[in-house]
């Protein structure tokens, strides 16, 4: 058996694997069969978007949902007294920050919080303590509501990890948009295949896999009272709302299967585009050839997908 790599970047590994499996089921458009390495460039582009839309953005959506749910409970349960305490805190914060912006710095650049800024800082902290006191009364209710809201959100995600419109806002000059327009029948088949793969595979396990080396290190520290299993359980519970891990995870099996997928991904790229994974020049050449076959110029690598 090949030795395990030190620390693969699991979000990329698992999304690459999902796209490769879907491509294996859907096949490759005949019109692009002459472009060597084009499948590797396509897999990389779809994988990046899958990671962004399916992992990164959903994590942010879940975190925002938790925060807004908590705040709505505070506002509803606290009524006018909570609204007044919050408004006073926001006014005090604004006044303090404005005064801070007018403050001077000493000879080594340290901001001097004296006089008016000092008074406004104390006032802001006092208002913040009052607001915290209002929130403490309803903290348990708010946390319970947030937990349930997050659970409902992730259950909806698990029911369909690739909903309609998932790729609706990809960059117009990118390969995904071009292939969706030019190979529409094949694209529909590819989406169906990717949706099928994602029903059986949860790329979000990448978050746990990324954390495992640190948890293993923590388990071996002198004086550590918890074994690795307990630390993983603690980590899962702490990140349940963020990543959707509401059930126990048999992490040894998850990790073992993940390393099999890692080797599958490495072997696939080595076969279709040798050097693509490790050589920037080879990767750039393959991407250039792929976009040339599509009659397009590769978009900037730094282009973000925030237009959705």
Mean per-residue pLDDT, 121-141 = 96
Angle between helix 139-159 and helix 57-101 axes, rounded to 10 deg: 140
DSSP string, 43-112: HHHHHHHHHIIIIIHHHHHHHHHHHHHHHHHHHHHHHHHHHHHHHHHHHHHHHHHHHHHT--B-TTS-B-
Would you say residue 5 lies in a domain?
A: no
Q: Tokens standing for 152?
A: 């409902």
Q: Tokens standing for 53?
A: 């839309």
For residue 111, the cross-strand partners are 105
Would you say residue 95 lies in a domain?
A: yes
Would you say residue 239 lies in a domain?
A: yes
CA distance readout (Å), 47 to 15, 19, 153, 278: 5, 6, 23, 17
For CA atoms 192, 176, 63, 244, the dihedral sign is positive
Would you say residue 137 lies in a domain?
A: yes
Identify which of 264, 151, 245, 248 has the alpha carbon closest to the alpha carbon of residue 203.
Answer: 245
Domain that residue 175 falls in: 10-294
pLDDT of the residue at 57: 97
CA distance readout (Å), 103 to 89, 108, 112, 122, 138: 21, 14, 6, 16, 38
In the chain the first and final C-alpha atoms are separated, in Å, by: 44
Would you say residue 304 lies in a domain?
A: no
In this prediction the pTM is: 0.86
Are the C-beta atoms of residues 98 and 119 closer than 8 Å to each other? Answer: no
In the structure, what pLDDT confidence band is assigned to residue 174 with cuts at 50, 70 and 90? very high
Per-residue pLDDT tens digits for 149-161: 999 999 999 999 9
In the structure, what pLDDT confidence band is assigned to residue 302 with cuts at 50, 70 and 90? very low
The count of domains in the chain is 1
Asked if residue 2 has pLDDT above 60, the reply is no
Would you say residue 300 lies in a domain?
A: no
Would you say residue 86 lies in a domain?
A: yes
Would you say residue 308 lies in a domain?
A: no
Mean per-residue pLDDT, 50-78 = 97
pLDDT of the residue at 6: 61
């Amino acid at each position: 058996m090949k030795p395990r790599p030190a620390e693969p970047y699991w979000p990329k590994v698992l999304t690459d694997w999902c796209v490769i499996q879907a491509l294996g089921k859907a096949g490759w458009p005949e019109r692009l069969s002459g472009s060597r390495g084009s499948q590797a460039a396509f897999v990389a582009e779809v994988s990046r978007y899958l990671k962004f839309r399916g992992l990164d953005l959903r994590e942010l959506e879940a975190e925002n949902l938790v925060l807004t749910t908590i705040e709505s409970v505070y506002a509803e349960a606290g009524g006018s007294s909570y609204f007044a305490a919050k408004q006073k805190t926001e006014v005090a914060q604004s006044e303090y920050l404005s005064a801070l912006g007018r403050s001077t710095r000493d000879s080594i650049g340290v901001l001097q919080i004296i006089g008016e800024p000092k008074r406004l800082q104390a006032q802001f902290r006092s208002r913040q303590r009052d607001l915290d006191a209002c929130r403490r009364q309803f903290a348990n209710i708010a946390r319970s509501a947030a937990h349930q809201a997050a659970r409902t959100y992730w259950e909806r995600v698990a029911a369909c990890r690739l909903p309609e419109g998932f790729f609706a806002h990809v960059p117009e000059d990118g390969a995904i948009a071009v292939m969706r327009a030019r190979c529409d029948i094949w694209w529909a088949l590819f989406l169906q295949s990717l949706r099928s793969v994602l029903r059986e595979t949860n790329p979000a396990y990448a978050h746990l896999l990324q954390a495992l080396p640190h948890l293993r290190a923590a388990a071996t520290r002198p004086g550590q009272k918890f074994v690795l299993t307990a630390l993983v359980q603690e980590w899962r519970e702490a990140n349940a709302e963020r990543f959707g891990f509401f059930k126990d995870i048999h992490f040894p099996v998850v990790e073992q299967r993940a390393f099999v997928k890692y080797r599958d991904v490495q072997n696939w790229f080595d076969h279709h585009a040798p050097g693509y994974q490790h050589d920037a020049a080879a990767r750039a050449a393959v991407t250039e050839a792929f976009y040339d076959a599509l009659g397009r110029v590769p978009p900037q690598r730094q282009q973000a997908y925030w237009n959705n």
